[in-house]
Amino acid sequence: MNWFPERHATPLVGRERELDMLRAGFDAARAGHSSLVLISGEPGIGKSRLIEAFAGELAESGALVLSARCDDADPPFAPFMLALRELARADPAELQRALLDSPSPDLKTLVAAGDDADPAAIAPRITLSGAEERARFFDAVVLVLTRLSESRPLVLFLDDLHLADEPSVHLLRHVVRVIGHSALLIAGIYRDTDLDPRHPLEAAIVDLYRERRATRLSMRRLELADLTELIAGLLDVPSNEVEIGLAQAIQAEAEGVPFFAEELVLHLREEGLLQHGPNGWRLAENAGPLIPQSVRSVVGHRLSHLEPRAVETLGVAAVIGTEFSFDLLRDVVERRSGVSRAEVQHDIEAALDRRLILERPPRQQVGRDAPYAFAHDQIRDVLYLNLGQIRR
């Protein structure tokens, strides 16, 4: 069970070292030594993709895999609640057992609220409550996780921790400190480039490293050979069908960041700037200077293929969040500019066609009614920045 898509056009390339570290963490957990692996890296380097691949491996292992992605718009403790609600859907009886005699009624309420209730309505009570209540809540989360990992290993993926709320960070640190001998692996993922030094995660990470409770995995940029394979995957040809010059040109711009490489290849293909020569795919003669200098302009350029109204619609979606539902988007767009339902539908289709957004299968919509997601955070960022402060 997991929220991971089978949406990738490309095979995973060049992440054996990283997968080995995760496998080692899992083996330790299986042997009863819980562990925390903290995966960090710049946007687009492939953090989420790595854990998707690892979760794919775990599918056969008999482990219980729960996952959540942090979003700065979410209420306190959302990542833990979202992960537990995933279990509430998949195996409610098991969750009930794990919650039996829970020391905190708050946890039960939050988890039981399931998909129907608005988490925002319930969650603040917990942060506002006193220290004792909060300690009970923390203990209750530890107890649930301990019980869930009794019969088989439990793996908890927490993506985009740099967007986590402070209470969640404190809870994470608490869990890691007290849960030493359980079959639990937590993989926490965050953007180190975007982490404000004052963000509570920064202090928590420093503590956990010092206490030797966390393993660090900092993601490297891709080598040329791996990048060539990625390009081949995108073009759906074998690697030897990609001319070295093309791979080098893309590497020069993307600097080993897979997201940039993908955007560049898509851009070149959309513009008809790739041609097949005697040694495979290569840049068209007139392509060189046309490669945009920054990814912001690549993304901007890809957006410019959409009708202006569709860009507006996506701009509204970008304000809603990294994930959004059709109904909410339609509601806001309709109110703002009187665009009809069919037109919003049309805009979404256009964005889906260009892989600017993705549709998530229902099982991935972990506890949120948000079937659409930006294909990458940076696409959302560009749209969001383009809006200007006042309209945002």
Binding flags for ligand ADP, 19-48, as an x/- string (CB under 6 A): ----------------------x-xxxxxx
d(C-alpha 352, C-alpha 286), whole Å: 29
In the chain, the N- to C-terminal Cα span, in Å, equals 36
Q: Does 48 bind Mg ion (CB under 5 A)?
A: yes
Give the residue, chosen from 3, 21, 35, 49, that forms a contact with ligand ADP under the rule CB under 6 A.
49
Decide if residue 350 touches ligand ADP (CB under 6 A): no
Residue 49 or 147 having the CB closest to ligand ADP: 49
40 binds Mg ion (CB under 5 A): no
> For the stretch 270-306, what's the b/e string if a residue is b when 16 or more beta carbons lie within 10 angstroms of its beta carbon?
eeebbeeeeebbbbeeebeeebbeebeebbbebbeeb
Residue 230 touches which member of Mg ion, ligand ADP, none, C-beta under 5-8 Å by kind: ligand ADP
| Angle at 147 (CA atoms; ends 142, 148), nearest 5 degrees | 100
Query: How far apart are the C-alpha atoms of 271 and 8, rounded to whole Å?
Result: 22
Rounded least distance, CB 15 to ligand ADP, Å: 5
190: β partners: 40
Q: Which stretch binds ligand ADP (CB under 6 A): 8-16, 67-75, 141-149, 204-212?
A: 8-16
- Please tell me whether residue 214 adopts helix, strand or coil conformation: strand
Site residues for ligand ADP, 229-248, by CB under 6 A, read 230
Name the nearest CA neighbour of 137 among 149, 124, 148: 124
**Tokens (6 digits) for 224:** 């040329």
C-beta of 48: minimal distance to Mg ion in Å?
3
| Least Å from the CB of residue 180 to ligand ADP | 29
If one asks whether residue 15 binds ligand ADP (CB under 6 A), the answer comes out as: yes
Site residues (CB under 5 A) for Mg ion?
Answer: 48
Q: Which residues in this chain contact ligand ADP in the complex, by CB under 6 A?
A: 8, 10, 12-15, 41, 43-49, 230, 258-259, 262, 376
